[in-house]
Amino acid sequence: MSELQPHIRIDNVTKSFGSYSAIRNVCLDIPRGSFTTLLGPSGCGKTTLMRLIAGFDEPDSGSILIDGAEMNGIPAFRRKTPLVFQEYALFPHMTVYENIAYGLKLQKVPRDEIRRKVGEMLEMFGLEGLGDRQPKQLSGGQQQRVAFARALVTGQDILLMDEPLSNLDAKMRVEVRNELRELQQRAGITAVFVTHDQDEALSLSDRIAVFDKGRICQAGTPWEVYFKPDNAFVADFVGTANFIPGEVAAVEGGELVVRCEGAHHRVDGGGRSFSQGDQVTLVVRPECISISMEAGPEGSAGKGWSGEIMSSSFLGRMVRYRVRCGSMTYDVDDASPSVRGVLQGSVRLQMDSSKIHVLLGSGEL
């Protein structure tokens, strides 16, 4: 029970279906009280890992530990790992009240206490008065709240959630995820959350584990994952990124001078070792490039690159441009579009060197 011991430890777990490896050598520590998100594209094995944690399936090798206790061979109904299912899985033959009360009933909680606890849940999730309804008489959002209530009512300190928000509309998702985060922090629950929505992952999580093809590509804080991706997949999957191939021209302490597209950039090496002549890829987020109208020959010529706008899309809070510079095409965000209106024609791009991230290698995905 020490603070250092992870609440859930996934230790070198592998799981195959027939000849297809759905989970490959996954290691992940999930600290107590944290909100950890498993993020990855469809079919990468997120649900599979959740099912392994909940005990619906057994890993082929490796082990899952909860509070330091090995879970292999422990059946699902002994694990105390409530899961909110992707498709809710509300019992259609029970009312909302009975659905929420089911877990308590199994624990032989006295009737009065069940009534009290379920009542609390109904209130907390804004479901007052709906207790007698059948699940199919509820809207999608209400069903989803019932699913949460059912998982939370037993008061376990773990909550697993498999894309619980995927059936809600965009506005509702944002609302619910904020409530969810608040609730989790208030109750000190260790939450494991699955999503393929990067916004959701970035906004909710203490830690994000990015999945691809059954492997964990990177695990870290949202900040790390976004600004210091370990590889091109993570950089591309989380947010949008420009990949610019380059070569290390010089190493000066922790800093590198990288030559690319005929310009030199002084960037932070991120504590990793590079040597002169390495092929590298610069990862630059669209919002880290500033865009301005070509100032003409007398202006700050030589600084940045000049390019040609190919297309633009208006996203409300910003405008995203596609700009061609020589052989490269960049995604660039302009965060204050209202001031200038949509730009056209020749522009000048400048990069904020401090927000450039360097990856070793050619940046193939």
Interacting residues with ligand ATP (CB under 6 A): 17, 20, 22, 40, 42-48, 196
**Segment interacting with other proteins, rule: CB under 8 A, options 70-78, 116-124, 218-226, 297-305:** 70-78
For residue 87, the minimal CB distance to other proteins (Å) is 6
Name the DSSP class of 78.
G
Q: Which of residues 13-52 bind other proteins (CB under 8 A)?
A: 16, 18-19, 51
Name the DSSP class of 116.
H
Taking the least distance from each CB to ligand ATP, the nearer of 43 and 155 is: 43
Taking the least distance from each CB to other proteins, the nearer of 136 and 171 is: 136
Residue pair 131/96 in contact (Cβ under 8 Å)? The answer is yes
For the sheet containing 190-195, what is the strand order?
83-84, 158-162, 190-195, 35-39, 207-212, 215-220
Residue pair 47/246 in contact (Cβ under 8 Å)? The answer is no
The correct pick among 12, 68, 70, 76 for binding other proteins (CB under 8 A) is: 76
Helix, coil or strand: residue 187 = helix
Positive or negative, the CA dihedral 269, 271, 274, 278 is negative
By CB under 8 A, tell whether 54 contacts other proteins.
yes
Positive or negative, the CA dihedral 88, 93, 96, 141 is positive
* Residue whose pair of structure tokens reads 């379920």 in the numeric block: 118
The correct pick among 6, 40, 45, 103 for binding other proteins (CB under 8 A) is: 103
Taking the least distance from each CB to Mg ion, the nearer of 47 and 143 is: 47
Site string for Mg ion, 36-55 (x = CB under 5 A): -----------x--------
Backbone angles phi, psi at 160, to 5 degrees: -100, 140
By CB under 5 A, tell whether 195 contacts Mg ion.
no
**Segment interacting with other proteins, rule: CB under 8 A, options 25-33, 150-158, 178-186, 329-337:** 150-158
- State the binding partner of 43 from ligand ATP, Mg ion, other proteins, none, CB within 5 to 8 A by kind: ligand ATP
Which secondary structure element, helix H or strand E, spans residue 299, and what is its range?
none
Question: In angstroms, what is the C-alpha Rg of the chain?
Answer: 25
Taking the least distance from each CB to other proteins, the nearer of 21 and 292 is: 21
Helix, coil or strand: residue 194 = strand
By CB under 5 A, tell whether 281 contacts Mg ion.
no
Taking the least distance from each CB to other proteins, the nearer of 18 and 110 is: 18
Residue pair 293/307 in contact (Cβ under 8 Å)? The answer is no
Cα separation, 81 vs 53, in Å, equals: 8
Taking the least distance from each CB to other proteins, the nearer of 46 and 207 is: 46
* Residue whose pair of structure tokens reads 């809070």 in the numeric block: 317
Give every CB contact of residue 134 below 8 A, 6+ residues apart in sequence. Answer: 92, 95, 96
Taking the least distance from each CB to Mg ion, the nearer of 86 and 99 is: 86
For residue 17, the minimal CB distance to ligand ATP (Å) is 3
By CB under 8 A, tell whether 80 contacts other proteins.
yes
The correct pick among 82, 214, 239, 304 for binding other proteins (CB under 8 A) is: 82
By CB under 8 A, tell whether 186 contacts other proteins.
no
CA–CA–CA angle 258, 226, 144 (5° rounding): 165
Cα separation, 137 vs 142, in Å, equals: 9
- State the binding partner of 87 from ligand ATP, other proteins, Mg ion, none, CB within 5 to 8 A by kind: other proteins
Residues of this chain that interact with other proteins (CB under 8 A) are 16, 18-19, 51, 54-56, 58, 60, 73-78, 80-83, 85-87, 89-93, 102-103, 106-107, 150-151, 154
